[in-house]
Amino acid sequence: MSERTPVLVLGLGNVVCTDDGAGIAAIHKLIREYDMPEGVVALDGGTLGLSLLPLVDSADQVILVDAISADGSPGTQVRIEGDEVAPAVYERLSPHQIGVADLLAGASLLDRYPDRVVILGVVPDSIELGLERTPAVQASIPELVERIVEELTAMGYPPVRSENRDEGYGSAAHIARTLGV
């Protein structure tokens, strides 16, 4: 068994599909502006589905950051936890929902479902092709990042503001700049 990750923060969504990339935009902003404390891993998971299983099933607590179809106007902040997570990923998430559902089901089937899964997200307006978020959703990204920070702080892992980051080829910052998130 590989080593455990106390907290995994995983951005999900398709960055070339406008608001579906909200979770990706948020995770990159988080990585850009904060240093994660020891024990926290923050990653851009895209729409990789089952390939993310080794990350998720080796984590004790998981925060998924995603666009979430829910009641409320575009940009509305949404938080889902506990028993609401499974039905939400089957019925309410964005087009990659089956991938996320299979991911969580996979962890469950292997008896390694994380102790705690929280989904933080915003309601999308459009998931059509495009690199830009719609205005309401783009405006909601800073608050989404703040809520990730609050969630981590409440878990006992407060991130620290930072300007130090790796700008090298292939780094998260490089990819974020290329993709415009």
- With CA atoms as reference, report the closest residue to 4 among 114, 104, 155, 160: 114
Residue 17 lies near other proteins (rule: CB under 8 A): yes
Token code pair at residue 77: 């902040």
Q: How many CB atoms lie within 10 A of CB 102?
A: 16
Residue 70 lies near other proteins (rule: CB under 8 A): no
Site for other proteins in 115-154 (CB under 8 A): 127-131
List of E strands, the chain: 5-11, 34-35, 40-44, 59-67, 77-81, 116-122, 160-161
Residue 84 lies near other proteins (rule: CB under 8 A): no
Instruction: Give whichever of 128 and 156 is closer to other proteins, judged by the CB atom.
Output: 128
Per DSSP, the three-state class of 8 is strand
User: Which among 41-49, 134-142, 143-151, 155-163 is the span making contact with other proteins, rule CB under 8 A?
Assistant: 41-49
Report, in Å, the least distance between residue 49 CB and other proteins: 6
Residues that bind other proteins (CB under 8 A): 14-17, 43-55, 57, 69, 86, 90-99, 101-102, 104-106, 108-111, 127-131, 169-172, 174-175, 178-179
